[in-house]
Structure 1
Amino acid sequence: MIKKVLFIILHVLLFGGQLAYADLEVTFVESAPKDRFEIKNTSECVLKDFVLNVDLSNSAGRLIFDTSATGAGVEVFQPFEVVKGKLTLISSTTVKDGDKTLSLSIESIGPNKSASFSIDVDDTLAQSELGNIRVSGSEISNGLVAVNLKNKKPYKASFNKNGKALIKLPPCSA
């Protein structure tokens, strides 16, 4: 804590600038036929060269990615597709049917800008709120999102019952 306070004081003295908090909001949007994950930079800082990990292993609905006609998913399927922004899938060349995790390399997201990707997500519950092919916000709750910045520990947040995860990142210069 003392180091953080000293860093802030030193930054203000040396640069005369204010520190801004860089937060990232990840939202799951249930939609037919493609579900979507929106990644929004809610700060005044440009976020560059970072890795975003999505892990649905602990989600309330035991969610999986449904990317092919055969396999663990139900009926409708959709592969991973970048919708907006400079995102590169780095966990593998494709997300396999039944996978619960994926990793993205993100080149940059400007202040109050967003990036997004689509993919089908299904639950694996015996009885679910909307059926297995549609996912409610409460079913994605406890799914985890982590951001890895260069040379820093990962910053994590869980999805809430509304399908949102807010990742608090360290301050940056505005």
Structure 2
Amino acid sequence: MWKSTALLLGLAGGAQAADCTGASLRFIESAPRDRFELTVGDQALMAVQVDLRGSVGRLIFDTADGGTGVEVFQPLRDEGGTTESDVPDGAEAIKVALRDGKAGSRAVFSIDVDDRLTSSDLGQIRVTGGEMAGAVATFEAVDGTLVKAVFDVTNRAQVCS
């Protein structure tokens, strides 16, 4: 069974060796669009979900002018391998369908992510440091299996076995 890297490191007795050949999702803060880079592991995927509700930075998706976020906003956009969909401004969770999530493939999508901290390193417009930590990526395999991984302080959610 797959496990999240963050969960493996949190077990009593310290870190355990793990085979991290499963899917991974990496968040990259960028301007004007933040990016998520998905690497499909050894199991084909049809979608990935990103749930920001447990994030250290109390993050949201900022997709509309004048909404919940700060200054710059960007709707969800396919950057290769995904299907675009509408994301409500201020949403804390999204599901992104993959066009071809075969094992070993990659996909990228962009969207604006803002934090809601009262005191933030570079203001609420930029996600810095480990503010993504605690958010959850859920990888949906073509057979319907759901596997969750928690984002760590390096802004990566990795599935390990």
Which TM class, normalised by the smaller chain length?
0.7 to 0.9
Q: Which has the higher contact order (CA 8 A, sep 6+)?
A: 2
TM-score, length of structure 1 as denominator length: 0.74
Percent of aligned pairs sharing the same letter? 38
Partner residue, 2:28: 29
Q: Give structure 1 stretches of 5+ with no counterpart.
A: 2-19, 170-174
Q: Give structure 2 stretches of 5+ with no counterpart.
A: 2-18
Q: Cα distance 1:112–1:103, how it changes in 2: closer, same or farther (>3 A)?
A: same
1:78 aligned to which of 57, 74, 77: 74
2:54 aligned counterpart, secondary structure: coil
List structure 1 runs of 4+ shifted beyond 3 angstroms: 109-113, 150-153
TM-score, length of structure 2 as denominator length: 0.80
2:153 aligned to which of 154, 161, 164: 161
Matches within 5 A, 1:1-16: none
Structure of higher CA gyration radius: 1
Please tell me the residue identity of whatever aligns with 2:76: F
Q: Cα distance 1:21–1:83, how it changes in 2: closer, same or farther (>3 A)?
A: same
More helix by share: 1
Question: In 1, are the aligned partners of 2:149 and 2:159 still within 8 Å (CA)?
Answer: yes
Question: In 2, are the aligned partners of 1:137 and 1:160 still within 8 Å (CA)?
Answer: no
Aligned residues: 144
> 1:124 deviation in Å?
0.5
